[in-house]
Amino acid sequence: MAAERLVVIGGDAAGMSAASQARRRRDATDLEIVAFERGHFTSYAACGIPYWVGGLVEDEQQLVSRDPETFRNKFQVDVRLRHEVTGIDLDRREVVARDLENGGTEVREHFDQLVYAAGAVPITPDWARTDADGVFGVQTLDDGAALLAWLDSDPRPERAVVVGGGYIGVEMAEAMIQRGLSVSLVERSPEPMSTVDPDMGALVRKALCGLGLDVRSGVSVTGLETRDGRVSAVVTEDGTLPADVVVLGLGVRPNTALAAEAGLPIGPTGGIRVDLRMRVVDVPGVWAAGDCVESVHRVSGQPVYVPLGTHANKQGRVAGINIGGGYATFAGVVGTAVTRVCELEVGRTGLREAEATAAGFEFVSVTVESTNRAGYYPGARPMTVKLIAERRSGRLLGAQIVGWSEAAKRIDVLAVAIWNRMTVDEMSGLDLGYAPPYAPVWDPVLVAARKAVDAIR
């Protein structure tokens, strides 16, 4: 009896997690696995690219969790690098791909089971579509290598403009500072870090300016200027900024063009619709995971698109376990994320105020100023904690933290509280660790919870 065949589209976190989990449960005589990857790497940490560019990580191989040879030899997965999938035929149960290293030779592969893990594609407005050198995205290791080559080219760039003030934008701004460039950050929203509320974003902007960044928030980019085939400036509504290198950090959208063409269901967020086991809704034998799918928010109950490596790995694992004959589900997300630029730390989880309003909640918001350690202990630094709680029940709906040291990971306590539908009253009595080097006697999380209780009462 012929072995069943699993084809995986996408060789990064979600796709290769699915492949490895399926292999752990079914050997090669029972399940053949073929994985197509457009790039040169498998299972790499794209979130580490800013630290590689900034010099904190020496080599791109440090960002690779498992290389293709490991998958081929240890997991018996037929990894096809530099193969771009161009079509999916559900009726014939075939995937069509182009071999990018051999003149675009067409390859057709039959599948019994299919995992669509094509990830995300960067948002690129019309003004950013240029043939000029010096304009970069930072989504893949190949992107990072190209940017590093440009930064080391002659003449060396001295002025950088980063467009987009989200996670990637602020992290790339830090990388440019670490490489000694003069850096401007342009963000069209009123404040950078629009994943937090504007009042918390204002704290981020103030801190970034204090670090020497030229922050232009509430400003839209309208075009690029070039000279001799190279970028020379970024044109904004607030004037023209000279630039030897431009980094785009405008976010991503689900890479679902092929999925839509094949007839896979696309949800309101633009991601593929899947069930709890990561099966594509109403399409037997087809699974999807990672930055190309939409998830359910555990607080609002609504579909959301939250492209993070943490989710991609978990979703791929769930799909692989189920393909392998086990049983697993993906329980949803609460939108937890952290970042750092220089020493400034930002964390968020749950709903922002606008999201809570859109979901129909009535809520109170409280903000407290505290410190990461006992005030008398050396190294105590300020942090701001904001909580959003449902008005009647006191249930924690969202939380945000901006601070300087040991601030961001405190968001994990709040994420657990949201995950388990805790009220701020219940949180105010949590038995958290205390010692002067680590926290005040009243941890900032507890102080914020007490203030939220008072606001509700």
Active-site positions read 47
Distance CA 396, CA 299 (A): 9
Distance CA 85, CA 7 (A): 11
> Which residues are paired to 368 by β-bridges?
385
Verify cis geometry, omega within 30 degrees of 0, for the bond prior to 254.
no
Terminal alpha carbon distance of the chain: 68
**Type of residue found at 166:** G
CB 53 within 8 A of CB 172: yes
Alpha helix ranges (H) inside 263-369: 309-323, 353-358
Rg of the chain (C-alpha set): 23
CB 366 within 8 A of CB 417: no
Which structure tokens are listed for 315?
């979703």
> Which residues are paired to 107 by β-bridges?
97
CA dihedral (316, 320, 323, 328) positive or negative: negative
Residue that is written with structure tokens 């393909």 in the block? 323
Distance CA 331, CA 448 (A): 27
Distance CA 367, CA 97 (A): 52
- What are φ and ψ of residue 171, in 5° steps? -70, -40
Verify cis geometry, omega within 30 degrees of 0, for the bond prior to 155.
yes
CB 123 within 8 A of CB 139: no
Which structure tokens are listed for 130?
């240029």
Residue that is written with structure tokens 């599948």 in the block? 111
Residue that is written with structure tokens 């003030």 in the block? 165
CA dihedral (122, 128, 133, 134) positive or negative: negative
Choose among 337, 338, 330: nearest CA to 313: 330
